[in-house]
Structure 1
């Protein structure tokens, strides 16, 4: 369902890691038009891809990287502490051994033309994050995410904002947030995975009616 790459097993998965960085570049630079200082062309690896980073991947049957996300300990420098601390204008970003930061939640939708498969892939990625956290005593994940994804996250994780939405010259309003991770979170994710067809049909119904 998902693959977790840790500092301990990273040497066994060099090819997958390279494929993940290449996929991330295609999406975040090629599709989302992000400007990320200091990265190689065709390869999204920045200062927050470190020797402590944990990666969660979802692979296709052919072994292609369809989706990925990364986890970093907040006890080390991370995106909120180093780049976006001023976004946290409601409450300080949390730090502690039980708090990790999630970033680069990326899916390659070109590999998933079926919207149900797209939804299930994102579910698998979220399940991987939650399972790793539960297995390692992580009770909270901090994020910087755009407002649309924040609204989706709230359906699965108990989430509160660390700051007000902030728009930085583009169409995305960014929100720093922190989410609780517990067994109930896992149960909700499993339910959504099982009900993928119904959830996607309900989501698409207004669009289909509008285009009819």
Structure 2
């Protein structure tokens, strides 16, 4: 199951949050060689791992096997502070019903066609957004993700032209949150809804807003 963790319940998940920071370091620094993220304590933490962050962690018992992070776009986030030029065509997309998505992962032994962790995290993200009146997700991603998202039936809109970042072709994009996208993601791996362990909303009241058309 995918557990929703934010400032309201983070103390109950302290061990899992710390484990997930170590896993992120092993994946993003060790495997992917993003050396700018290296830290001597072996945890991958940046300025957006703060009280605004919402973590969706896939747990097997108490063990972290996958996860991702959402950040409200009305607060400083990766695209607004570091990569605004990736939205140089349609501009930054910000609103109470838009979140930014970063740092998705599955541990090595839970990857591949026979595993469902990654798609469970994706489905959990969409499920969380549908429950909390979030209509769109922005993301800085490598361009090779685009066909994978289209295969899931997602509505993905580039916000700017691709750019090379540390030798990788990257693009800023907005993903529209729809029930159809969620159901397609579930069906792709034969997942059963719901995938969220905690179905109740964790979005602060001030972050909610009416749906955009």
Would you say same fold, with TM above 0.5?
Answer: yes
Q: CA deviation at 1:182?
A: 1.4
**Structure 2: stretches of 5+ with no match in the other structure:** 192-213
The reply to whether residue 189 of structure 1 matches residue 172 of structure 2 is: no
Residues of 2 paired with 1:150 and 1:114: CA distance? 18
Q: Deviations over 1:5-33 (max 9, x none)?
A: 12211111000000000000000000001
Q: CA deviation at 1:160?
A: 0.8
Superposition misfits of 4+ residues, deviation over 6 angstroms: none
Aligned counterpart, 1:116? 114
Q: CA deviation at 1:52?
A: 1.1
The reply to whether residue 18 of structure 1 matches residue 18 of structure 2 is: yes
The reply to whether residue 135 of structure 1 matches residue 131 of structure 2 is: yes
8 Å CA contact 1:160, 1:179 repeated in 2: yes
Bigger RCO (CA 8 Å, 6+ sep): 2
Residues of 2 paired with 1:169 and 1:123: CA distance? 27
Residues of 1 paired with 2:2 and 2:139: CA distance? 21
**Structure 1: stretches of 5+ with no match in the other structure:** 196-212
The reply to whether residue 162 of structure 1 matches residue 159 of structure 2 is: yes
What is the TM-score with the length of structure 1 in the denominator? 0.84
Aligned counterpart, 1:66? 65
Single out whichever of 84-93 and 98-107 deviates more from structure 2.
Answer: 84-93
Secondary structure, in 3 states, of the residue corresponding to 1:115? coil
Q: CA deviation at 1:179?
A: 0.2
Q: Deviations over 1:38-57 (max 9, x none)?
A: 84431011101110110011
What is the TM-score with the length of structure 2 in the denominator? 0.84
Query: Who wins on radius of gyration, i.e. which is larger?
Result: 1
8 Å CA contact 2:111, 2:117 repeated in 1: no
8 Å CA contact 1:161, 1:178 repeated in 2: yes
The 1:33–1:131 alpha-carbon spacing in structure 2 relative to 1, beyond 3 Å, is same
Q: Deviations over 1:167-201 (max 9, x none)?
A: 1341x210100000011111111111218xxxxxx
Matched pairs, number? 190
Q: Deviations over 1:75-99 (max 9, x none)?
A: 0000000000012122102000000
